[in-house]
Amino acid sequence: MVNMPCKLSLVAVFSLALTFAAPGQNKPAAAPARESKPNNDPQLYRNSTFGFRYQIPYGWVDRTKEMQAGNEAGKGEVLLAAFERPPEATGDSVNSAVVIASESVASYPGLKHAEDYLGPLTDLATVQGFKSEGEPSTLQINGRQLFRADFVRPLGDKLTMRQCTLVLLAKGQIISFTFIAGSEEEINDLLERPHFAVAKSSTHSN
């Protein structure tokens, strides 16, 4: 596995996501008006560039624009950032979230495979107070192989923040799907929501 320093774009994305997801936050900013989306289901995020869609849980709030404020030109982009409740609302539980981002492979010299990204990802999670839970593994979704890493971060005697990140390489980009929740059951639910387009076979039968 290649060990590389975390890029600022990745640090900014995860730092902001964890701030939004932490319980007890009280942000004064007002929630922006939701813009209409081109598809009929506002809870369904579609990405034609990388060929996947994500079914956002009903009632969750979209904070993609706020997260995109930390994008670095040519390095990374937040594709989707959604939260269980408005980050400015107070709460005594983890504010579950999904953050999907893309980064240029060129930003990580020496990175050739998706699993190479797990090194800087683990370094970043450790800086944010997380500990690895188990060994990295692979996950098959609609024929696509993604690499999975899980982390936990105690927030007190009774509250634990869980993070699960899936990694995929596509079109010269690192695509990361990060899920944050307060329980393993919630993480599993979020993991069932991404779907990939099935690649068309170039083989024709005679």
pTM: 0.81
Chain centroid to CA 168? 11
Instruction: Please tell me the least confidently modeled range out of 153-162, 178-187, 192-201.
Output: 192-201
Q: Report all structural domains of the chain as residue ranges with CATH numbers, in order of start.
A: 8-24+42-196 (3.40.1000.10)
- Which of the 8 DSSP states describes residue 113? S
Structure confidence at residue 44 (pLDDT): 95
pLDDT digits over 105-151, tens only? 988 888 889 999 999 889 888 988 899 999 999 999 999 999 999 99
Residue 6 burial (C-beta neighbours within 10 Å; 0-12, 13-18, 19+): middle
- Alpha-carbon torsion angle 20, 21, 25, 31, nearest 10: 50
Residue 4, pLDDT > 50, answer no
Structure confidence at residue 40 (pLDDT): 63
Query: For residue 37, what pLDDT band results from cuts at 50, 70 and 90?
Result: very low
Residue 27, pLDDT > 80, answer no
Q: How many CB atoms lie within 10 A of CB 89?
A: 14
pLDDT digits over 39-97, tens only? 567 789 999 999 999 999 999 999 898 888 755 555 678 999 999 988 777 778 889 99
